[in-house]
Structure 1
Amino acid sequence: MIKATTIVAVKKGDSVAMAGDGQVTFGENTILKHTAKKIRKIYHGKILVGFAGSVADAFTLYDMFEEKLDKADGNLRKAAVELASEWRSDRVLRKLEALLLTADKEQILLISGSGEVIQPDHDVIAIGSGGNYAFAAAKALIENTDLSARDIAVKAMEIAAAICVYTNNNISVEEL
């Protein structure tokens, strides 16, 4: 499991929100930063992307993903598949330690270095050390409340931050 962060994405109705914490952890027991921003809007503000894992690796993947989006004219699925394929097959890239969550208004996709591009069944997915906590909270909230995608993402992050030592409550949110 990749430690040191939590990112959750929630799609509800016409809205999709992605939330993440701000903690940067060095090793097993040192917090270096509390206010990191791990979520961005890219491709003219039409795509959300968040990461868990190594920051340097994630920035490399962000740049590659933006290039793939440009070549695919903003087609999220095509860009994700092309990134996953290159990430998996390139000897240097294969060593990158990160996961990417991506979303547009129609879909949420998880991209990994082992070649997976996964669309969640329930319009909710989370990654990182607190990902399971955030996922469970978001799934319960989406099924049992009338909260917006943004409110569900924030509440799920608050719950994860209360449980996971690698997740803090300095939550940033982006929404489409």
Structure 2
Amino acid sequence: MGVATTWHGTTILGVLRDGVVAVAGDGQVTAGDVVLKHRARKIRPLFDGHVVAGFAGAVADALTLFDKFEQHLKAWDGDLRRAAVELAREWRTDRYLRRLEAQLLVGDPGQLLLLSGEGDVIEPDDGVAAIGTGGPYAAAAARALLRHTGLTAPQIARAAMQVAADLCIYTNDQVTLITVPPERQEYEADDR
């Protein structure tokens, strides 16, 4: 038997300011000390573009959770908080879902939420949340920019992701950024 490979390489950041949520994700996928991909897309719009979601963790697990979350969004007519609570409940109690290894960061113009398989649904106090290896770097930079500048949510997200890329070896500067409302979508990473 071989040694299990540890996968790293995700930084997902959400910033909520003035009724606009911006979620940014880097494109790097790393296994051990090898970069496998530079332009992965780890965020996507959901519910006809009214919600944006990003993931950290195993890709197949995250895609399963995206699908489940969108089902809950549809069932609750776009109520982000209710859909998040229902997904967290199902994620924690379902035998299959309980084994999924990922975290989700979801947002709409009114709220930003972090979801985990432990049943967590966390809304940050300050409109900034991040997950993944470079998350603490991105969150710290975003909080400073939010408190001390007049930059927009997308501008803060992009600048904070650059700081994370400069500091975290598992984060690169190939950023995908999605805003809701979709004032200006910026897709720099491909969907392969």
Structure with higher Rg: it is: 2
Gaps of 5+ in 1: none
Q: TM-score, normalising length from structure 1?
A: 0.97
Kindly indicate whether the alpha-carbon contact (under 8 Å) linking 2:20 and 2:108 is maintained by their aligned counterparts in 1. Answer: no
**Paired residues of 1:3 and 1:52 also in contact (CA < 8 A):** no
2:15 to 10, 14, 17: 10
Question: Which of residues 171, 174, 177 in structure 2 aligns to 1:170?
Answer: 174
User: What amino acid does structure 1 have at the position aligned with 2:135?
Assistant: G
2:44 to 40, 45, 66: 40
The counterpart of 1:23, out of the listed 4, 25, 28, is 28
User: Aligned-pair distance for 1:19?
Assistant: 0.5
Give the match for residue 183 of structure 2. Answer: none
The reply to whether residue 131 of structure 1 matches residue 120 of structure 2 is no
Deviation at 1:84, TM superposition (A): 0.3
Identity percentage of aligned residues: 54
Q: Indicate the SS of the match to 2:172.
A: coil
What is the CA–CA distance in structure 1 between the aligned matches of 2:85 and 2:19, rounded to whole Å?
24
Please show how residues 13-162 of structure 1 align to structure 2 within 5 Å: 13-26=18-31, 28-162=32-166
Q: CA RMSD in A?
A: 0.9
Structure 1 residue 3 displacement after superposition: 3.4
Say if 1:126 and 1:135, in contact at 8 Å, map to a contact too: yes
* 8 Å Cα contact 2:9-2:29 kept in structure 1: yes
Q: TM-score scaled by structure 2?
A: 0.89
